[in-house]
Amino acid sequence: MALRYVAIGDSLSEGVGDDPWPDGTPRGWADRLAELLAAHHGEVDYANLAVRGMRSRQVLDTQVEAALALEPDVLTFTAGMNDLLRPRLDVAVLRETLVQVVAPFTAKGVRVTVVPIPDIRAVSPAGRLIARRRLGLNGIYQHLADEHGMLPPAPTTGTIFEDARAWADDRLHLSPLGHERLALGSAAALGVPVAQGWDAVPTGAAPRRSVRTEVEWTRRHVGPWLGRRLTGRSSGDGRVAKRPTLSPFETVAERPPQGAG
């Protein structure tokens, strides 16, 4: 019988920042994890309900019921980071929301795993702004493991996620390297043998920054992000899940090119 794997969450689980598939959809660590699970288990039915820009309450309201209906054996979720980036944050409400996301799955015996928020102070100015909130969110994740049956979140200190090469140009989404390592680390947490996880940092120095690179980053990424916040828009407006139903996972070679019938 095929292993049933469902991913829910925000842009990280959707795959933003990774190289796209031939049909133009983002690949991402969850797709890569499905591939690793398929190689290990022989067959995996996979669905991905994640949509970029979603906060925790939106994940709960729009994805949890649909994911439960798919009766997964394994669920991964990424939720909370978009809450941290908003001006106002009610930690108690966030905690209760994430409990409502996780508890219905663990009550059914689903293996649930989450990606903890790494320390990105060396990667992006946003890391300094959310430093205290990040610790609070990771504390909520630990609570979900201790009290609600989620798999314990793996530590990210000293891992590749503190290296700029793991991050895309916008410094908020993972690069292809980051997505690859996140998939490997998550596979290891689920008992899949892997050669390396996210603890291995590439050799050599990360790219150096200059006034010019910072100005360009602000122009290309910070400005548009602030514009969406001020106008109440989201990067996920009008988007739907890229893989809303369970189906056998297809490798890169098996996926049809964009526009194919």
pLDDT score of 86: 85
* Structure tokens that stand for 149 in this block: 């049956």
More confident residue, 157 or 59: 59
Give me the sheet containing 3-9, strands edge to edge: 111-114, 74-78, 3-9, 44-48, 243-248
Q: Strand, helix or coil at 204? A: coil
If you write DSSP's letter for every residue of 7-41 in order, what string do you get? EEESHHHHTTTSPBPTTS-B--HHHHHHHHHHHHH
Neighbours of 46 (CB within 10 A): 27
pLDDT score of 127: 77
SS3 content of the chain, % helix, strand, coil (to 5): 45, 10, 45
Whether pLDDT at 223 is above 80: no
30: closest CA among 54, 41, 46? 46
Q: What is the band of 260 on the pLDDT scale with cuts at 50, 70, 90?
A: very low
Whether pLDDT at 253 is above 90: no
The mean pLDDT value for 177-197 works out to 91
pLDDT score of 163: 87
pLDDT score of 198: 78
pLDDT digits (tens, 9 = 90+) for 138-148: 999 999 999 99
pLDDT score of 76: 98
More confident residue, 101 or 202: 101
More confident residue, 261 or 122: 122
The mean pLDDT value for 36-41 works out to 94
Whether pLDDT at 257 is above 60: no
- All structural domains of the chain, each given as residue ranges with its CATH number in brackets, are 3-252 (3.40.50.1110)
pLDDT score of 143: 97
More confident residue, 62 or 222: 62
The mean pLDDT value for 51-67 works out to 96
Q: Considering only 63-67, 125-129, 208-212, which range has the smallest mean pLDDT?
A: 208-212
Global confidence as pTM = 0.85
DSSP code of residue 172: S
Q: Considering only 105-114, 219-228, 244-253, which range has the smallest mean pLDDT?
A: 219-228
The mean pLDDT value for 145-173 works out to 89
The mean pLDDT value for 60-66 works out to 98
Whether pLDDT at 191 is above 60: yes
